[in-house]
Structure 1
Amino acid sequence: MICMQLIVVLIRIFFSKCMMRFKFKVDLLPRDTDLNCVGDWVVEATMRKKLNVLSVHLTSSKSLVGVTGVISEIQKEKKGRDVYILGSANVGKSAFINALLKTMAINDPVAASAQRYKPIQSAVPGTTLGPIQINAFLGGGKLYDTPGVHLHHRQTAVVQSKDLPSLAPRSRLRGISFPRSSVSADNVEQVASIENGLNAFSVFWGGLVRIDVLKVLPETCLTFYGPKGLHIHMVPTEKAYEFYQKELGVLLTPPSGGENVESWKGLESERKLQIKFEDVERPACDIAISGLGWFTVEPVGRSRKISQSKPVETTEELILVVRVPKPVEIFVRPPIPVGKAGAEWYQYVELTEKEEEMRPKWYF
């Protein structure tokens, strides 16, 4: 399963052995994102996982972008069979079903009647307790809303319920590039020292993620995509432990509140990442934190490229250590091409005619 936290939510619709996959909430993607690039990227990720996918749809339950295409594909493949909406907890399945029913109701009296069923939308896992049958199709077959699959490796599985709303994006994501002077730092000297690179510094993403920078280029940049309520703080690595103990629940939230902080077990899981890159003109990779978001590793940040007057120093690899709570997982993946810059560096894979035929189609 592809892990693209926050903005890439996978909902599967099964017809016996058939499956369609949807990436929705595209209205949360950064402005000027080229959906052609994103669609191709999702298909490539699906192919790498060797999944039996009929098609990929980029949709939004809020603006209804792409929903008509989903309905057309369902009607084409359903053939009187039942349709099941599956996905992990708190990814927006109920909102997706509402969008389907609202759009189908325009031409389908059965779907119009089914709109009386309103799936409950909540940030708290477990709202839907069992499969719910909905008479939504004219001509046979039922639509089933299902309980969310609880994935133990997501951040939502380790934070308290009161903090869950802070992990849900409410508006378009906006990448926060680091280092930059507006990112929180202890003092002016630290901000100035960033000009020499991120080496020997630690970056905290709320109280949920710590990134120790062991070896990067002086121009290396990390760009974060996630909930706006999670602030980024930087300290020298030698002071990182003391800073975390002092500021947990204060500057570093979530966790929030006295009881939550007292019961918090800390960042017990650690992964050392050795990131190789060949082209300084494009990001090396994304590092996704399950259930939270991701940050993109750029060997040379875009602002540095523009102002660079001398050849960029090269190195064989970049080395980071990422710490998260147990059992949250850390995924390394090819960088997703978001924003205007994504369309500039993204490279389409050249395919043979046979490969093109076997490849799932994508729509938005």
Structure 2
Amino acid sequence: MAELYCRGCGALIQHEDKTLPGYIQEGLTEGEENKQLLCQRCFRLKHYSEVITKTLSNVEYLSVINKISKENALIVKIVDIFDFTGSFVPAIKRLTGNEDVLLVGNKMDLLPKNVKSERILNWLKQMLAHEGFTVLDSILISAKYGQNMDRLMELILKHKGKRNVYIVGCTNVGKSKIVNQILRRYLGYPTDVITVSTNPGTTIGLIGFPLLDGTMIYDTPGVINKHQYTHYLTRPSYKITVPKKEIKPLAFQLNEGQTLFFGGLARLDVINGETGDKVNVITYFANTLNIHRTKTQRADELYETKLYSLLTPPFNEEEDVPKWVFHEFKIRDNLKYDIVFSGLGFVTIRAPFYLRAHAPFVVGIYARPAII
């Protein structure tokens, strides 16, 4: 019998182990060789939003990526423009062994509508130059709403020649949504073919589809960046924390000795505004995440007594919150910066300032030139 693959996650169909990707009850695949099958995991995810957890080990992931490294292909690298720092992963080029990269900044729909695309694209190019990362082209899109998909397809066709195309990136940057958009718009597929979920790590193996010229376009498993907060959240906390619609920025004027809590997930202390004036802080987080202001001298006590009640998420003690650490930022010029909590959000502040940012030790916290 020919090998069958799940059309939702790309896993090889198997009947032996319910806990592994690709499981379908024995007998259900008889006579189905020419049909597009969904494994039990993808069926439950699609119809009931029920998640059967399975992530790729490093060995499994590298075996998938190894296929790309042996091929002269066009790499379409997807980043989450809302979390560029956390989703960039420069090692993608090293893993694939391929120099031809088209960079796609997805989720433009999350940024405020008054932000000009040209500004974001210029910022993106500045960040690429800082990383020493060269690309064939770069583009901003919203896979959710199909914004700029025609231009993306033009760039893919322009740069790929007779080569296959691989869509790569971190978990939950929207790779599968982009492939589904391409399949519907340009190849005539009627509905979503690849499983799309709000849970990271949906795609298990390579999922390939033929393009009109006989080459293939592949969705790949997401790289897990362990510095992103999303990998340490339970599903209820994840739903509150990850933005799904346009961010509504909040403005705070903070004095020296004041603190902002972002739920019970992170905090920002103003140690010194350097000029003695109030520090203007603009926050960019999911609209569903509660932001609470307090005095820094009360912050530790507030966290101890109000975590799971005033400061949520997390919602209960069963959510294992890793130990917090802090990072200090002293910047003395007069430029605007973002302080980024990877996978959670960011704040924008004009220097000079002296700040202390707290989060679990596994979460990346960075300063960068302001995106907005």
Asked if TM exceeds 0.5, the reply is yes
Aligned to 2:354: 319
Alpha-carbon shift at residue 257 of structure 1 (Å)? 2.9
Render the CA deviation track for 1:81-137: whole Å, top value 9, x for unaligned: 111111111121111111222221xxxxxx225x566111112223211111122x1
Q: Deviation at 1:44?
A: 1.4
Q: Using the alignment, how far apart are the partners of 1:3 and 1:92 within structure 2?
A: 8
Whether contact under 8 Å (2:338, 2:348) holds in the other structure is yes
Q: Does structure 1 residue 134 correspond to structure 2 residue 188?
A: no
| Structure 1 match to 2:238 | 164
User: What does the per-residue CA deviation read over 1:182-221, in whole Å, with 9 as the maximum and x for residues that have no partner?
Assistant: xxxxxxxxxxxxxxx5201121111111112110142311
- 2:367 partner amino acid: V
Q: Which has the larger displacement, 237-246 or 249-258? A: 249-258
Residues 99 and 162 from structure 1, CA distance in 2 versus in 1: closer, same or farther, beyond 3 angstroms? same
Alignment of 1:187-202 (within 5 A): 197-202=254-259
1:72 aligns with 2:154: yes
In 2: Cα distance, 1:3 partner to 1:60 partner:
11
1:176 pairs with 2:232: no
**Match of residue 351 from structure 1:** none
Task: Find the counterpart in structure 1 of residue 328 from structure 2.
Answer: 272
2:120 to 27, 32, 38: 38
Structure 1 residue 319, shift from structure 2 partner: 0.6
What is the identity, as a one-letter code, of the residue corresponding to 1:164?
A: Y
Provide the rounded CA distance (Å) in 1 between the counterparts of 2:285 and 2:193. 28
Q: Deviations over 1:229-272 (max 9, x none)?
A: 21111221111111001111111111113422xx3234x22111
Give the number of equivalent residue pairs: 288
**Distance (whole Å) between structure 2 residues aligned to residue 89 and residue 117 of structure 1:** 18
Q: Matched residues in 2 for 1:204 and 1:4: separation? A: 24
Percent of residue pairs bearing the same amino acid type? 29
TM-score, normalising length: structure 1:
0.73
Paired AA for residue 103 in structure 1: R
Residue 294 (structure 2) pairs with residue 235 (structure 1): yes
Q: 2:176 aligns with which of 94, 113, 116?
A: 94
- Distance in 2, matches of 1:26 and 1:210, equals 26
Once the two structures are superposed, what CA deviation does each residue of 1:290-345 show, in whole Å capped at 9, x if it has no partner?
1111100135xxxxxxxxxxxxxxxxx411111101210111110112xxxxxxxx
Following the alignment from structure 1 to structure 2, what is the Cα–Cα distance between the partners of residues 330 and 130? 31
Calculate the aligned-residue CA RMSD, in Å.
2.4
Rounded Cα–Cα distance in structure 2 between residues aligned with 1:22 and 1:236: 41
Do the aligned residues in 2 keep the contact of 1:86 with 1:93 (CA within 8 Å)? yes
**2: CA distance, partners of 1:167 / 1:227:** 6
Spell out the pairing of 1:285-296 with structure 2 (5 A cutoff): 285-296=337-348
Q: Which residues in structure 2 correspond to 1:242-257 (within 5 Å)?
A: 242-257=301-316
Q: 2:371 aligns with which of 336, 346, 351?
A: 336
State the one-letter code of the partner of 1:212: D
Indicate the residue corresponding to 2:225 in structure 1. Answer: 151
Within 1, Cα distance between the matches of 2:78 and 2:278? 30
Task: Give 1:17 shift.
Answer: 2.4
- Residues 125-178 of structure 1 show CA distances to partners (whole Å, capped at 9, x for unaligned) of 23211111122x111221111111111101012222332122221211111011
Gaps of 5+ in 2: 1-76
Q: 1:284 to 1:117 in 2, by over 3 A?
A: closer
How far residue 15 of structure 1 moved from its aligned partner, in angstroms, is 10
CA positional deviation for 1:62:
2.4
- 8 Å CA contact 1:155–1:328 kept in 2: the answer is yes
Structure 1 Cα separation of the partners of residues 132 and 229 of structure 2: 26
Distance 1:3 1:273 in 2: 25
Give the aligned partner of residue 307 of structure 1.
none
Q: Does structure 1 residue 212 correspond to structure 2 residue 269?
A: yes
Kept after mapping to 1: 8 A contact 2:164/2:215: yes
Instruction: Tell me if structure 2 keeps the 8 A contact 1:5–1:292.
Output: no
Q: Is the 8 A contact 2:326 2:358 kept in 1?
A: yes
Q: TM-score, normalised by structure 2?
A: 0.72
The CA distance in 1 between the partners of 2:195 and 2:182, in whole Å, is 15
* Residues 276 and 176 of structure 1: CA distance in aligned 2, closer, same or farther (over 3 Å): same
Deviations 1:279-299 (A, max 9, x none): xxxx52111111111100135
- The aligned counterpart of 2:132 is 50
| 8 Å Cα contact 1:7-1:29 kept in structure 2 | no
Aligned with 1:124: secondary structure? coil
Q: Given the superposition, is the C-alpha separation of residues 285 and 83 from structure 1 closer, same or farther in structure 2, using an over 3 Å criterion?
A: same
Q: Structure 1 residues 223, 231: closer, same or farther in 2, change over 3 A?
A: same
The runs of at least 4 consecutive aligned structure 1 residues that moved more than 4 Å come to 1-5, 7-16
Aligned amino acid, residue 165 of structure 1? K
Higher relative contact order (CA 8 A, sep 6+): 1
Report the equivalent of 1:6.
82
How far does residue 68 in structure 1 lie from its aligned partner after superposition?
0.8
Mark the runs of 5 or more structure 1 residues left unpaired by the alignment.
105-110, 180-196, 300-316, 338-364
Determine the C-alpha separation between the residues in 1 that align with 2:191 and 2:208.
13
